[in-house]
A and B are shown apart, each in its own frame.
Chain A
Amino acid sequence: MIRVLIAEDMHMIRSALVALLSLEDDMEVVAEIERGDEVLPTALRVRPDVAVLDIDMPGLDGLSAAEQLSARLPDCRTLVLTGLSQPGNLLRALKVHAKGFIVKDAPAHTLTDGIRRIARGERVIDPELVAAALETGSSPLTPRETEVLRAAATGIRIAQIATQLSLSQATVRNYLSNAIGKVGGRNRIDAIRISRDAGWL
């Protein structure tokens, strides 16, 4: 029996996933979570074989949760559900040792089949996502620029970003300016939008 943890913030989708997996004889949903920051403590408690994680969750995003799981509970394999609109997330998912990366609009059997294969130790990656990721390309931003742009995306002011990242305001402005130039944005908001759409943030 494959023990599955499901983390998805949208109640209706979560219930549908639970109902879908409950139909499978060889799977058991041992936990369902709606927040990213609850993934690790719950997983440590219930010890699932496979964690099915959505990317956008309150508290902590699915990829960061996958990273925590990989570090603290390496036996638990993670399968990330995503949309095709953010292909850059594939790179992050691979970096955090996610074993599976499936688009949300794939047929239902792709998910169940994927969970079984991941439980067997295989890696499941949607070829369309690979194609989309290759097309989008890797992020042109440096890690620091990404960090600054991510902080700016939360809506805080430059002074606050500077305090948060222990930088001077001028340096923050420089990083933002570089990021805007690199992604080809017209302004900060545009750069955030482009980077977010590409999955670089």
Chain B
Amino acid sequence: MTLPLSPARPPALPAGAVGRPDHLPWSGRARGRVVGRTVVEFWRSDRVVRLAPVGAIACSGLLPVLQVVLAFAYLDNNLRTGLWSLAATALYLPLHLRHVWYAAHATRPPHRHWTLAAMAVVILAATPVAGTMWPRAYVGLAVSAVLLLPAPWSLAIYATLVAIAAPVSLLMGVPWTVVPWLMFSVLTGSWALLLLVWLSAALTRLQAAREVLAQQAVAQERRRIDDDLRRTLGSALESIAARGERVGQRLAESEREGRRAVGSQSVGSRSAGSQSAGSQSTGPQPAGEEPAALVDELMALADDSRRTLAEARQRVRGYRQPSLRAELETAATLLSAAGIETRLVLPRSGLPATIAQHPRAALRATVTRLLRTNGVRACTITTTVSNGRALLELRTDNTTETIEVIPGPQAGPTTDPTEVWP
């Protein structure tokens, strides 16, 4: 009955993949609170996962130590049995704790069969000399067997150990009235320890799964962004590079022609020094239209670069998915800051979590227009949801604009309430 333990720990999460705030989208007070809470919860659960194996180890060690104390304390026992118990415990306990430690981390220790065998030899060999209560030490052996061996064998060994604890105790002189209690303590002790270790292992596996999922999500997002950038901005950047190269070549050609012209002029002046100055004007000149054409080309290049920059910003904005609610709250805050008395009315339920790019651009354009316009005194932003359609209405002193809210990707309705006065 062994748990499906992973052979090795999963690779560590890359720094910043989860919980790093600079990887998290930011949009508003509510989101800030949620993200902050998520990060705190993440840390807390991480701490629990790290502490769980320690708890399992502590409990696994406590029982044998108690066993040694009892070996000294029982009336039937003497110092010699106590010392035997102490020696045997000192021998098997490190091996047992090692088994528990690895199992609590959802892994298997190397050379586990040998260490289990050594543990079994020590515990069984100490049975005749370590006192009447020594069969309780079978708990450790049974737990280690269940943790390390595959299912049929582990169950068989567990059942055997529990079963022989009673007759062994009787043989060692334990009164028959005490035997049921001893059996009960062996059963409950072993199951308590097993559950503790399994819980710790489950937590470890959950955390590992979460890390793997986060890594996959990060890798997937990187691939998506990479494809997107290559498809869209890539061609624009290539065009800029090609244009820059062309300008550079034309500049170089222009410079060469200029040099040639100067050279031929000086040769001409040496060979025909008596020629009139008017004849020089007919010689080769750097193309007169060239500088103007180059200026045009450079201006176009600058325009292209600026357009590409704007496109890049737009792309980056598209990657983030701020919540619709946060965006509306911020819009209301901005309008209020600009001196426009703004009221935000949101439905109690059904508001899409995010908004698609097109209606979002329309919303932003309207907010920009309102911010730029002088004389707007009041604005009411109302979102209504009916028959699955969400409509956003921006009503100012004399105009009303309606935008249909098309939910963005990964959108789900929120149940956030209410009416907000920024």
Instruction: For the complex of A and B, list the 6 residue pairs with the smallest distance between their C-beta atoms, beginning with the closest.
Output: A140-B32, A137-B28, A94-B337, A184-B21, A137-B27, A181-B36
Residue among A91, A139, A184, A186 having the largest count of chain B Cβ atoms under 10 Å:
A184
Decide if B102 is an interface residue (CB 8 Å cutoff): no
15 more contacts with CB within 8 A, not counting A180-B36, A186-B39, are: A94-B337, A94-B371, A97-B339, A134-B330, A134-B334, A135-B322, A135-B327, A137-B26, A137-B27, A138-B28, A181-B36, A182-B36, A184-B24, A184-B35, A186-B19
Whether A135 contacts B329 by the Cβ 8 Å rule is no
Q: Contact string, B188-208, partner A, CB cutoff 8 A, digits 1/0?
A: 000000000000000000000
How far is B221's CA from A113's CA once the two chains are assembled, in angstroms?
40
Contact segment of A38-46, A121-129, A155-163, A167-175? A121-129
Q: Contact string, B34-61, partner A, CB cutoff 8 A, digits 1/0?
A: 0111111000000000000000000000
Whether B36 contacts A183 by the Cβ 8 Å rule is yes
* B contact face: mostly helix, strand, loop, or mixed: helix
Residue among A122, A183, A186 having the largest count of chain B Cβ atoms under 10 Å:
A183
Decide if A107 is an interface residue (CB 8 Å cutoff): yes
Q: Quick one: which of B24, B29, B320, B327 contacts A140, CB cutoff 8 A?
A: B29
**In the complex, chain A residues 172-193 whose Cβ is within 8 Å of any chain B Cβ:** 180-186, 190
Whether A194 contacts B22 by the Cβ 8 Å rule is yes
Whether B364 contacts A181 by the Cβ 8 Å rule is no
Whether B35 contacts A123 by the Cβ 8 Å rule is no
Decide if B313 is an interface residue (CB 8 Å cutoff): yes
Q: Which residues of B contact A97 (CB under 8 A)?
A: 339
Whether B330 contacts A137 by the Cβ 8 Å rule is yes
Number of A residues with CB within 8 Å of any CB on chain B: 37
Measured CB to CB, the nearest residue on chain B to A101 is B371
Whether B374 contacts A122 by the Cβ 8 Å rule is yes
User: Assuming the A-B contacts A91-B337, A135-B327, A194-B21, are A128 and B310 also in contact, with contact meaning beta carbons closer than 8 angstroms in the complex?
Assistant: yes
Whether B367 contacts A182 by the Cβ 8 Å rule is no
User: Assuming the A-B contacts A130-B364, A140-B28, are A125 and B36 also in contact, with contact meaning beta carbons closer than 8 angstroms in the complex?
Assistant: no
Q: Which residues of A contact B373 (CB under 8 A)?
A: 123
How far is B337's CA from A97's CA once the two chains are assembled, in angstroms?
8
Q: Quick one: which of B330, B337, B367 contacts A95, CB cutoff 8 A?
A: B337
User: Assuming the A-B contacts A95-B337, A123-B373, A130-B371, are A138 and B317 also in contact, with contact meaning beta carbons closer than 8 angstroms in the complex?
Assistant: no
Q: Quick one: which of B21, B33, B38, B368 contacts A125, CB cutoff 8 A?
A: B368
Would you give the shortest CB distance from B363 to chain A, in whole angstroms? 8
Interface pairs (19), CB distance under 8 Å? A123-B338, A123-B373, A123-B374, A124-B372, A125-B368, A128-B313, A133-B330, A134-B367, A135-B26, A135-B317, A135-B322, A138-B329, A140-B29, A183-B36, A184-B32, A184-B36, A184-B39, A186-B39, A197-B22
Interface residues on B, range: 35 or more
Q: Quick one: which of A132, A134, A190 contacts B21, CB cutoff 8 A?
A: A190
How far is B26's CA from A105's CA once the two chains are assembled, in angstroms?
24
Decide if A165 is an interface residue (CB 8 Å cutoff): no
Measured CB to CB, the nearest residue on chain B to A142 is B29
Q: Which residues of A contact B145 (CB under 8 A)?
A: none
How far is B332's CA from A138's CA once the two chains are assembled, in angstroms?
10
Q: Which residues of A contact B367 (CB under 8 A)?
A: 130, 134
Would you give the shortest CB distance from A65 to chain B, in whole angstroms? 18
Whether B27 contacts A135 by the Cβ 8 Å rule is yes
Q: Which residues of B contact A57 (CB under 8 A)?
A: none
Residue among A128, A138, A197 having the largest count of chain B Cβ atoms under 10 Å:
A138
Whether B32 contacts A137 by the Cβ 8 Å rule is yes
Whether A138 contacts B22 by the Cβ 8 Å rule is no
Whether B371 contacts A123 by the Cβ 8 Å rule is yes
Q: Quick one: which of A127, A133, A135, A180 contacts B320, CB cutoff 8 A?
A: A135
Q: Which residues of B contact A137 (CB under 8 A)?
A: 26-29, 31-32, 322, 326-327, 329-330
Measured CB to CB, the nearest residue on chain A to B323 is A137
Measured CB to CB, the nearest residue on chain A to B306 is A107
Decide if A64 is an interface residue (CB 8 Å cutoff): no
Q: Which residues of B contact A201 (CB under 8 A)?
A: none
How far is B24's CA from A107's CA once the two chains are assembled, in angstroms?
31
Decide if B2 is an interface residue (CB 8 Å cutoff): no
Q: Which residues of B contact A105 (CB under 8 A)?
A: 309
Q: Which residues of B contact A125 (CB under 8 A)?
A: 368, 371-372
Q: Contact string, A135-153, partner B, CB cutoff 8 A, digits 1/0?
A: 1111110000000000000
